[in-house]
Amino acid sequence: MRTALLASAFALACTAALAGPLDSRFGNTTITRDGQGNETHIYYAADGTLTGKQNGQPFKGSWKLNGGTVCLTFDPVPQGATNPTCVPVSDHKVGDSWGTGPYTVTLVKGIQ
């Protein structure tokens, strides 16, 4: 029993350490806007999956951290994206907005 608890705690600690820059996104919405005002909403899950919508069209996929980047694989692939799409990632809090290339990204509370 104790071995199982220690193994579970270790696995949970490793998962948290690996997801670090995305922790604040679990249970919240990452909104990306392009220069024309088009929005993509992404909902990250701690298990490495994601769901989202772009212009009302739903998609799903997975995410994986690779150093200072996060790589997203989509099904189906949203307009303007490729598989995989790899972008720089850093820690942000709910309410933060930041720029990345031609996009503005905002992290908002809850699933929107």
Of the candidates 105, 52, 98, the residue with the CA atom closest to the CA atom of residue 79: 52
Return per-residue pLDDT of the chain as tens, 112 residues. 332 222 222 223 333 344 688 999 999 999 999 888 899 999 999 999 999 999 889 999 999 998 889 999 999 888 888 999 998 888 999 999 999 888 899 999 999 8
| pTM metric for this prediction | 0.78
Radius of gyration of the chain (CA): 15
Domains of the chain: 2-108 (2.40.128)
